[in-house]
């Protein structure tokens, strides 16, 4: 919003607010942030009603239903589940329930095989073994291991062990005189973690003929603890499926990069699609990787490259040769996004979005059907409340995404289709991918929303200990710091993770549309990710027996949604965001050669934003304590706050990947978080001219928002008294 127009809005707000001026001195409201004295108690009561409606038995039965069969993206079963959700939502009382269909590039294996042809013959099974304890593991519809959107290949070549498959690993191979061109690289999933698509892109750039990605027991198998079906870790034949799409460049349907796949939409040719790999590959269990590793010759791999198998890992001198055949069925298929709403009673044009993906590589016990089960319980409870006349003030929009596992596809297409409407209406996007694989609360939030999550973590108890969730968060963060030998004092500001990478459906909302996001999950020991053992049995035996954390997640998710939907003034905390921005700048400066970057102007603007944010917070508290703000002023301040989040967008986007438009938040190619992305990437590449240009873009965004926050704070001050600049 141009600042001239904004000033006119504020001036209008002042005119209506004058009649409502009240005593400025009042105790802060003992309710959730953003609520006035008159509305806080009612909100507390509403939240208690919501919590009382949630049932672990119901969540368990949702979970059984969704995990009964494999339901990968675009499959018939997954589309059936879309219709099932639509039907259930209608019964629950949700409004405007719609199934949006997007015809997108989907992926499935037609035939896959891997054979070691030298020095001995070994036919990899590429299959996971069934176990009596878990009847679902005998389901004949489970697929072999494959990599989503791999290209089709039929190649025979020597194998080189390339550790984690990151660029520095190839540098080490080069130092040993090993060239991977025309060869097949064998890499590990983790150590350190990077998204498998980045491993594929790196292998492609290095000229490899194919890639094999295996699960080493050091990362998610017997080296970590007891394995399935006796423990939560991966057994010998477990395979981590997953896509290798280059969605860190542009997510969504690779054939419609940046625009929605609606009927009649232009499509690029597959060979022109930047997010499609040109390399083929397969995922392997350690059982199938072991014969290869055992027979390798060449130099012994460095100590950090040695894995959990009882053998000496070698780099590969040409002795081991394999034939890899990957015949993929990558073609356009329907992805179904289910949308349902509870229309806002007072501000139907301000939307709080909640989303979870439905597609799973197989049964999706944790990923994502735990989240789907929690979501269905949230909608059921809110539907009940609606039936008894409790309609939220703002609109709640619920989405069940498809194709997340392939390329964040459904959410990206939907976000692109409704981009303009979302930019003007969306208050926040609350994502839950997996809801529970254990008891460890792992909240993430954009800087401005982190205090909202923290506030709730102080109120809700952990079901195992009875202590507030915030206590467990403090303990976990303190432990992580101790392990990293980080001696900076831990403050509550650091408890909610504000460094948000990619890898789930929040991406289009945060990075492309400038909508602040929250991501929620409970985590624990989980070695069966993307394998067929991630199912109902695993959840009931290890992940969340009793479904207490599924229910707690539903409670957190729904309560945050209700607070955002009902708040008198939107609880964005700009001073908190500014403090995090300062930390991001510190990190960048520490990682950059001294004297190369002049970040003083940026720091000055962040200081101004922090001060303005503090004034806005104080004035909001004062206004809310004096009674419900005048409706017009309230509305206009809220509209200003919405505009503010969108101010972080830069129309040109990041150099080289213009779809990513947020100036504060992006992700690395590895999916790792990346703050101040334009500036950071330029500094890392030592392109100081570009860095200065990117710093200027950031300075302007921060300055724009500091001025806007000042205006909003002044508007509140004029109505109720308070601090002005
Ligand atoms: Zn997922």
Is pLDDT of 190 > 90? no
Distance 699 CA to ligand 1 centre (A): 35
| Average pLDDT value for residue range 377-401 | 98
How far apart (Å, rounded) are the C-alpha atoms in residues 452 and 443?
Answer: 11
pLDDT above 50: residue 364: yes
- Nearest alpha carbon to residue 187 among 147, 152, 139: 147
Q: What is the pLDDT of residue 11?
A: 36
Measured in Å, residue 196 CA sits from the centre of ligand 1 at 14
Report how far ligand 1's centroid is from the alpha carbon of 361 (Å): 9
Distance between Cα 651 and ligand 1 center (Å): 29
Tell me the residues surrounding ligand 1 (ion) with CB < 5 Å: 367-368, 433
- What is the CA(456)–ligand 1 centre distance, in A? 24
Q: Which residues contact 650 (CB under 8 A, 6 or more apart)?
A: 661, 662, 663, 678, 697, 701
Summarize pLDDT for 524-549 with one digit per residue, the tens: 999 999 999 999 999 999 999 999 99
The mean pLDDT value for 1-28 works out to 39
Residue 708 confidence (pLDDT): 97
CA 432 – ligand 1 centroid, Å? 9
Q: How far is the CA of 341 from the centre of ligand 1 (A)?
A: 23
- Residue 21: pLDDT band with limits 50, 70, 90: very low
Which phi and psi angles does 306 have, rounded to 5°?
A: -70, 140
pLDDT of residue 553: 98
The whole-number average pLDDT for the span 542-557 is 98
Residues 6+ apart with CB under 8 A from 316: 158, 159, 160, 161, 178, 183, 186, 296, 297, 298
Determine the distance separating the centroid of ligand 1 and the alpha carbon of 357, expressed in angstroms. 7
Tell whether the model's pLDDT for residue 12 goes beyond 60.
no
**pLDDT over 70 (residue 113):** yes
How far is the centre of ligand 1, averaged over its atoms, from the C-alpha of 434 (Å)? 6
The rounded Å distance from CA 23 to ligand 1 centre is: 50
For residue 34, pLDDT over 70 is answered with: yes
Q: In angstroms, what is the span from residue 418 Cα to ligand 1's centroid?
A: 23
The confidence score (pLDDT) of residue 721 equals: 65
Span from the CA of 639 to the centroid of ligand 1 (angstroms)? 33
Of residues 318 and 12, the one with the higher pLDDT is: 318
What is the 3-state secondary structure of 179-200? CCCCCEEEEECCCCCCCHHHHH
- Choose among 27, 217, 18: nearest CA to 627: 27
Ramachandran angles phi, psi of 281, nearest 5°: -165, 175
Of 163, 243, 159, whose CA–CA distance to 201 is shortest? 243
Q: Tell me what percent of the residues of the chain surpass a pLDDT of 90.
A: 91
pLDDT of 24 > 50? The answer is no
Give me ligand 1 centre to Cα 73, in Å: 11
Q: Do residues 401 and 337 touch, judged by C-beta distance below 8 A? A: yes
- Which helix (H) or strand (E) segment holds residue 122: the answer is strand 122-123
CA of 360 to the centre of ligand 1 (A): 7
Query: DSSP for 646-664?
Result: HTTB-TT-BTTBTT--BSS
C-alpha 431 – ligand 1 centre gap (Å):
11
- pLDDT of 17 above 90: no
User: Is 513 a residue whose pLDDT tops 60?
Assistant: yes
Residue 1 has pLDDT above 50, yes or no: no
Ligand 1 geometric centre to CA of 358 (Å): 8
The pTM of this model reads 0.94
Query: What pLDDT sits at residue 265?
Result: 96
pLDDT, one tens digit per residue, over 124-150 is: 999 999 999 999 999 999 999 999 999
What does the pLDDT read at residue 629?
75
Out of 74-78, 174-178, 538-542, 630-634, which region has the weakest mean confidence (pLDDT)? Answer: 630-634
How close is the Cα of 698 to the center of ligand 1, in Å?
32
pLDDT of residue 634 exceeding 80: yes
Q: Which pLDDT value is given to residue 193?
A: 82
Q: In the predicted model, what is the mean pLDDT of residues 109-135?
A: 98
Each residue of 248-263: pLDDT tens digit? 999 999 999 999 999 9
Average confidence score pLDDT of the chain: 94
Q: Does the annotation count 684 as an active-site position?
A: no
Q: pLDDT category, 48, cuts 50, 70, 90?
A: very high
Neighbours of 471 (CB within 10 A): 15
Residue 524's φ and ψ, nearest 5 degrees, are -170, -175
For residue 18, pLDDT over 50 is answered with no
C-beta separation of 676 from 580 below 8 A = no
- For residue 450, give both structure tokens: 């982190």
Q: Which of 404, 405, 416, 610 is catalytic?
A: 404
At 251, give phi and psi (nearest 5°): -85, 180
- Show the tokens assigned to 65: 């239903």
- pLDDT confidence of residue 8: 36
Lowest mean pLDDT among 224-228, 673-677, 715-719: 715-719
* Mean predicted confidence (pLDDT) in 311-322: 98
Q: What is the pLDDT of residues 267-302, one digit of tens each?
A: 999 999 999 999 999 999 999 999 999 999 999 999
Q: Ligand 1: distance of its center to the CA of 367 in Å?
A: 5
Percent of the chain with pLDDT over 70: 95
Task: With CA atoms as reference, report the closest residue to 255 among 227, 278, 276, 281.
Answer: 276
505 CA from centroid of ligand 1 (Å):
9
How many angstroms separate the Cα of 282 from the Cα of each of 109, 146, 322, 413? Answer: 10, 5, 12, 27
Partnered with residue 210 across adjacent β-strands are 184
Cβ contact 436:366 at 8 Å: yes
pLDDT by residue (tens digit) across 661-706?
Answer: 999 999 999 999 999 999 999 999 999 999 999 999 999 999 999 9
Answer whether 325's CB lies under 8 Å from 111's CB: yes
CA nearest to 180, candidates 210, 200, 214: 210
Segment holding 643, helix H or strand E: helix 631-646
| 575-613 residue pLDDT tens | 999 999 999 999 999 999 888 999 999 999 999 999 999
Pairing label, strands 210-214, 281-284: parallel
């Amino acid at each position: 919003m141009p600042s001239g127009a904004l000033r006119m809005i504020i001036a209008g707000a002042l005119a209506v607010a004058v009649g409502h001026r009240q005593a400025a001195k009042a105790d802060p409201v003992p309710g959730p942030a953003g609520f006035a004295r008159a509305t806080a108690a009612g909100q507390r009561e509403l939240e208690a009603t919501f919590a009382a409606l949630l049932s672990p038995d119901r969540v368990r039965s949702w979970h059984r239903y969704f995990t009964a069969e494999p339901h990968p993206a675009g499959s018939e079963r997954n589309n059936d589940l879309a219709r099932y959700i639509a039907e259930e939502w209608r019964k629950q009382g949700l409004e405007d329930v719609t199934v949006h269909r997007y015809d997108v590039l989907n992926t499935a294996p037609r035939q896959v095989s891997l054979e070691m042809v030298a020095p001995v013959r070994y036919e990899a099974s590429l299959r996971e073994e069934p176990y009596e304890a878990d009847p679902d593991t005998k389901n004949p519809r489970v697929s072999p291991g494959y990599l989503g959107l791999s290209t089709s290949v039929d190649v025979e070549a020597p194998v080189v062990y390339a550790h984690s498959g990151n660029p520095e690993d190839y540098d080490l191979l080069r130092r040993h005189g090993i060239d991977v061109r025309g060869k097949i690289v064998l890499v590990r999933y983790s150590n350190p973690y990077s998204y498998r698509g980045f491993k594929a892109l790196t292998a492609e750039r290095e000229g490899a003929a194919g890639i094999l990605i295996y699960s080493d027991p050091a990362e998610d198998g017997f080296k970590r603890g007891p394995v399935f079906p006796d423990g939560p870790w991966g057994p010998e034949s477990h395979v981590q499926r997953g896509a290798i799409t280059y969605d860190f460049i542009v997510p969504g349907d690779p054939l419609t990069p940046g625009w929605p796949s609606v009927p009649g939409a232009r499509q690029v040719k597959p060979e022109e699609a930047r997010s499609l790999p040109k390399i083929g590959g397969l995922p392997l269990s350690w059982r199938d990787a072991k014969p290869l590793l055992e027979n390798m010759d060449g130099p012994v791999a460095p100590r950090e490259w040695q894995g959990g198998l009882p053998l000496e890992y070698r780099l590969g001198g040409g002795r081991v040769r394999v034939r890899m055949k990957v015949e993929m069925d990558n073609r356009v298929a329907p992805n179904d996004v289910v949308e349902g709403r509870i229309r806002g009673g007072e501000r139907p044009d301000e939307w709080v979005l909640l989303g979870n993906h439905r597609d799973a590589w197989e049964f999706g016990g944790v990923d994502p059907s735990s989240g789907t089960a929690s979501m269905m319980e949230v909608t059921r409870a809110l539907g009940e409340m609606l039936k008894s006349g409790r309609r939220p003030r703002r609109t709640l929009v619920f989405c069940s995404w498809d194709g997340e596992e392939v390329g964040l596809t459904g959410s990206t297409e939907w976000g692109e289709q409704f981009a303009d409407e979302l930019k003007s209406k969306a208050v926040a996007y609350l994502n839950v991918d997996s809801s529970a694989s254990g008891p460890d609360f792992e909240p993430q939030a954009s800087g401005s929303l982190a205090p909202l999550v923290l506030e709730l973590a102080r109120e809700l108890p952990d079901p195992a200990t009875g202590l507030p969730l915030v206590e467990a968060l403090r303990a976990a963060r303190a432990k992580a710091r101790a392990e990293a030998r980080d001696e900076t004092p831990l403050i509550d500001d650091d408890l909610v993770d504000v460094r948000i990478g990619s890898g789930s459906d929040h991406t289009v909302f945060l990075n492309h549309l400038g909508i602040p996001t929250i991501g929620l999950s409970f985590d624990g020991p989980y070695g069966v990710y993307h394998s067929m053992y991630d199912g109902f049995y695993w959840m009931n035996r290890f992940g969340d027996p009793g479904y207490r954390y599924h229910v707690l997640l539903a409670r957190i998710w729904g309560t945050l949604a209700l607070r955002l939907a009902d708040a008198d003034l939107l609880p964005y905390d700009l001073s908190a965001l500014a403090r995090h921005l300062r930390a991001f700048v510190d990190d960048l400066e520490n990682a950059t050669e001294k004297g190369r970057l002049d970040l003083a102007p940026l720091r000055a603007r962040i200081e101004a934003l922090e001060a303005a944010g503090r004034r806005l917070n104080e004035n909001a508290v004062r206004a809310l304590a004096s009674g419900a703000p005048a409706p017009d002023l309230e509305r206009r301040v809220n509209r200003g706050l919405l505009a503010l989040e969108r101010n972080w967008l830069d129309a040109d986007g990041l150099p080289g990947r213009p779809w990513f438009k947020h100036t504060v938040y992006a992700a690395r190619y590895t999916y790792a978080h990346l703050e101040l992305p334009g500036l950071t990437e330029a500094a890392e590449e030592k392109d100081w001219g570009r860095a200065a240009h990117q710093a200027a873009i950031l300075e302007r965004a921060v300055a724009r928002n500091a001025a806007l926050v000042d205006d909003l704070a002044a508007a509140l001050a004029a109505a109720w008294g308070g601090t002005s600049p």
